[in-house]
Amino acid sequence: MKHISKILCLLLLGLTTVSYGQKKSKKNAAPPVQQTQAAKPEKKSPFKKYSDIVTSDAVTDEGLFKVHSVGEKFYYEIPFDLLNTDMLLVSRISKIAAGLGGGYMNAGSKTNEQVIRWSRVNNDIHLRSISFTNVANDSLPIQLSVSANNYDPILAAFSIEAFNQDSTAVLIEISDLFLSDNPALSGLSENMRREYKVRNLDRKRSFISRMASFPENIEVRHDMTYNATDPPSNSRTGTISMEMSQSMYLLPEVPMQPRLYDQRVGWFTIRQIDYGSEALKSDVKTYIRRWRLEPKDPEAYARGELVEPVKPIVYYLDPATPAKWRPYFRQGIEDWQQAFEAAGFKNAIIAKDAPTKEEDPDWSPEDARYSTVRYVASTTRNAVGPSVSDPRSGEIIESDIIWYHNHLRSYRNRYMLETGAANPSARTLDTPEEEIGEMMRRVISHEVGHALGLPHNMKASYSYPTDSLRSATFTQKWGLAATIMDYTRYNYVAQPGDEGVRWVRMLGPYDEYAINWGYRYIPNANSAEDEKAILNSWIREKAGDPVYLFGGGNSYDPSSQTESVGDDPVKASRYGLANLKIVAPNLAKWTAKPGENYADLAELYGELIGVWTRFAGHVVTNVGGVYEELKTTDQPGVIYTPISKASQMDAMKFLVEDVFTTPDWLLQKEILDNIEPSGAVEGIGSMQSRLLASLLRKDRLDRMIENEAMNGSEAYTLTAMLSDLRKGLWSEVSSSRNIDAFRRNLQRAHVERLAELMKQDERNRSDISAAVRAELKSIQSLAKTGSSRYAPCIIQYHLRDIDALIESMLSAE
């Protein structure tokens, strides 16, 4: 049996071998794989081949990253050596829906800026928004806690699609970042979304229109279309569309050495909380925002020679700027060269025309490498000077100054109203081109000042004696204020006959001082702290000179007011009022054009009332006012000093006689009969009521109470002020004189404001309640006895109504 079995096995083996041999011959197959152990399948890679994505159809642009567009998909090719590198992402609206933002947004408006980093986590690339608000040196142990307690948010995550050919970069599809409604990149704020009732982003109507890579930045343009119930324009469409610009800019590997801020010299700032400081607290470090200017020739600079900077500040003029205004825009930019020369630099700031499409087809005003002056076709009457800065150091990276077309109208109107009495060339709607150009030049200079890091300095106008502004020699040399950064637009002090005076503002000595303080290169200082002593010494050198003081403007300091001129607000407003009394009766003639309607006259008349309100407001600030002079502990004197009693009383006299008395000079019949059927009583009444409410602000009265408590008889007291006001506003009653409609409105406003003060004071009752109650009773007594002196008429009815109104107020308390 064993023998038979062996024979059968051999036969079967032979059959099998023959069969396999026939199969191989028939199929021409390879030798058989051993079947003794099953082969393991290869693990599939999660990544695609680079060539399968970046095909021959791809459009590639090389720069900071390679960017690829393949059909409707867009890719970033991010080099590994740029992972975890600081970049600045700036979001702007490059094309805007009409009316979006209420007129104060435009093509070019910045909506966000943030430092970002790309990082790899396993098979993903993360995009984080990085904050430098809380910091500590990397070498310190506390940095571990700072990092743990300030975890940076992830804006987006992307799967790695592939690696490039030499595995030095990763490929990610970037489309979703720009086609999803990411708030960090959006042009719509939360307030806008609520106002316009935005429901959602419509992905089907959103797309990427451009993606370009440059050596230091990547520029993306993408359209975003939102469904909205109440859009700002084209309401029937239910749609808001805008084109966004995203500029991703590589920040310097080594941040600029920051410069510590000093409140005595005005600068825009960045703020960091340094947990690694030796101070026994988390130490707030505030640094100024400024461009990085370093001398090309440090040795020549050290010898005191003027030296060009390694990288000057360059502004390009928008191609949309009308040709006739371009010379003035260039002058406005390059006027700052003189200030930079005070800091040791020549040709530090330069104006250029933007290149043509033929010269540079890729040039774009939204490109983060270029700083521009944009000319915006808009009815908005304004100009702004924003900038983008590195939050690590305060270094300004770029800026875009914006001039709104209709701002021309503002300056033409104010020129007529504020200087027309003494300046014949201002008495027309067709202001000479050269003079409009000079105004535009100075506006651009002002906005460039902001872009250089300088905020408003409202104390600069107070540094010049008021009467000096009537002098041609003084104003032509020194201008109207110590800096262009004040809001001293025009010389409204100069009177008819003051020949040769300067009418329009210009740069002044404070501008050179501030630029030197912020931009002078200090070669031997290796840290911000090393610079502090010399920066302080520069301030101490100018101590006591009002030309070099800084004040950002507030509600209590009459030496730091917006739109004010000269060091005596009461005297300046008297001069201004005298000029307006000449302008008012001539306004109809100066604005008349044959065949035209009265729209310009109506506009100018409304602005005339506004100008007078500002003049009066400057005087109001003197009452209960306090001078503020910023100091450090090593300087003599105090920071806060109450206004003298005499000055406050003079201000009050002016208000009673020239503000709260009916301004008959404003009631020009030729104007009013041509611009409106009624409204003069309401318009004048509104102006007077606003000024009265400002005079009777609780914080002002609180300061007067404190001044009396600290200085006794040297103070202008609250009760004295209220008494002077009452005697002025109700002077007609005791002598039975006519009380006109304007005065009756003001008297009602007086009673209502006093009652409002009692309500504001009821939670923490102070002397205000006692003084106001006494005033209301005195007015009630005047009204009660005075009404009997008048025959039945509106005046008697008015006084009886005042009596009843006060009675109800006091009874209800």
Q: Is 246:219 a contact under the CB 8 Å cutoff?
A: yes
Q: Can you read off the two tokens belonging to residue 427? A: 């008495």
pLDDT band of residue 40 (cuts 50, 70, 90) is low
Q: How far apart, in whole angstroms, are the C-alpha atoms of residue 260 and residue 265? A: 11
Collect all residues with Cβ–Cβ distance below 8 Å to 186 and sequence separation of at least 6: 91, 111, 224, 244
The structure tokens 């949309």 sit at 320
Summarize the confidence of residues 367-396 as an average pLDDT.
82
Beta bridge partners of 384: 402
Buried b (16+ CB within 10 A) or exposed e, 51-83: eebbeeeeeebeebbbbbbeeeebbbbbeeeee
Express each pLDDT in 454-471 by its tens digit: 999 999 999 999 999 999
Percentage of the chain beyond pLDDT 90 is 71
Beta bridge partners of 202: none
Helix/strand/coil (H/E/C) assignment for every residue in 593-632: CCCCCCHHHHHHHHHHHHHHHHHHHHHHCCCCCEEECCCC
In this predicted model, which residue has the larger pLDDT, 273 or 196? Answer: 196
Summarize the confidence of residues 202-213 as an average pLDDT.
92
In degrees and rounded to multiples of 5, residue 63 shows phi and psi of 180, -135
Q: How far apart, in whole angstroms, are the C-alpha atoms of residue 579 and residue 601? A: 18
| SS3 state at 674 | helix
Helix/strand/coil (H/E/C) assignment for every residue in 202-257: CHHHCEEEEEEECCCEEEEEEEEEEEECCCCCCHHHCEEEEEEEEEEEECCCCCCC
Q: How many CB atoms lie within 10 A of CB 477?
A: 10
pLDDT at residue 39 greater than cutoff 60? no
Least confident of 10-24, 257-271, 439-453: 10-24
Least confident of 136-145, 212-221, 340-349, 360-369: 136-145
Q: How far apart, in whole angstroms, are the C-alpha atoms of residue 699 and residue 719? A: 15
State residue 23's pLDDT score. 36
Q: Can you read off the two tokens belonging to residue 158? A: 């992307």
| Boundaries of every domain in the chain | 58-250, 298-415
State residue 3's pLDDT score. 46
Express each pLDDT in 687-720 by its tens digit: 999 999 999 999 999 999 999 999 999 999 999 9
pLDDT at residue 245 greater than cutoff 50? yes
Please choose, from the candidates 739, 743, 770, 738, the residue with its C-alpha nearest in 3D space to the C-alpha of residue 754: 770
In this predicted model, which residue has the larger pLDDT, 537 or 183? Answer: 537
Q: How far apart, in whole angstroms, are the C-alpha atoms of residue 746 and residue 658? A: 14
State residue 319's pLDDT score. 87
On the CB side of 218, CA atoms within 13 Å amount to: 20
Average pLDDT over the chain, rounded to an integer: 89
Express each pLDDT in 547-558 by its tens digit: 999 998 888 999
Express each pLDDT in 96-144 by its tens digit: 888 888 766 767 688 888 999 999 999 999 999 988 765 556 666 656 5
Length of the chain equals: 813
State residue 351's pLDDT score. 96
Handedness of CA 587, 588, 594, 599 (dihedral sign): positive
Handedness of CA 63, 66, 72, 73 (dihedral sign): negative
In this predicted model, which residue has the larger pLDDT, 785 or 38? Answer: 785
Q: How far apart, in whole angstroms, are the C-alpha atoms of residue 451 and residue 430? A: 31
Q: How far apart, in whole angstroms, are the C-alpha atoms of residue 131 and residue 155? A: 13
On the CB side of 646, CA atoms within 13 Å amount to: 1
The helix (H) or strand (E) run that includes residue 478 is helix 472-478
Q: Which long-range contacts (CB under 8 A, 24 or more apart) does 515-519 make?
A: 515/336, 515/339, 515/340, 515/342, 515/343, 515/452, 516/339, 516/342, 516/343, 517/265, 518/259, 518/265, 518/267, 518/288, 518/290, 518/343, 518/453, 519/290, 519/291, 519/293, 519/340, 519/343, 519/345, 519/348
Summarize the confidence of residues 722-731 as an average pLDDT.
97
pLDDT band of residue 38 (cuts 50, 70, 90) is low
Alpha-carbon distances of 753 from 616, 746, 773, rounded to whole Å? 19, 10, 12
Q: Which long-range contacts (CB under 8 A, 24 or more apart) does 693-699 make?
A: 693/749, 693/753, 694/617, 694/620, 695/620, 695/623, 695/655, 695/725, 696/753, 696/754, 696/757, 697/555, 698/757, 698/760, 698/761, 698/768, 699/555, 699/556
Q: Can you read off the two tokens belonging to residue 617? A: 């407001």
Summarize the confidence of residues 756-777 as an average pLDDT.
92
Q: How far apart, in whole angstroms, are the C-alpha atoms of residue 554 and residue 457? A: 11
Looking at this protein, which amino acid is placed at residue 110?
K
Q: How far apart, in whole angstroms, are the C-alpha atoms of residue 342 and residue 306? A: 9
pLDDT at residue 390 greater than cutoff 70? yes
State residue 143's pLDDT score. 61
State residue 235's pLDDT score. 86
Alpha-carbon distances of 169 from 56, 80, 82, 120, 805, rounded to whole Å? 19, 5, 9, 11, 80
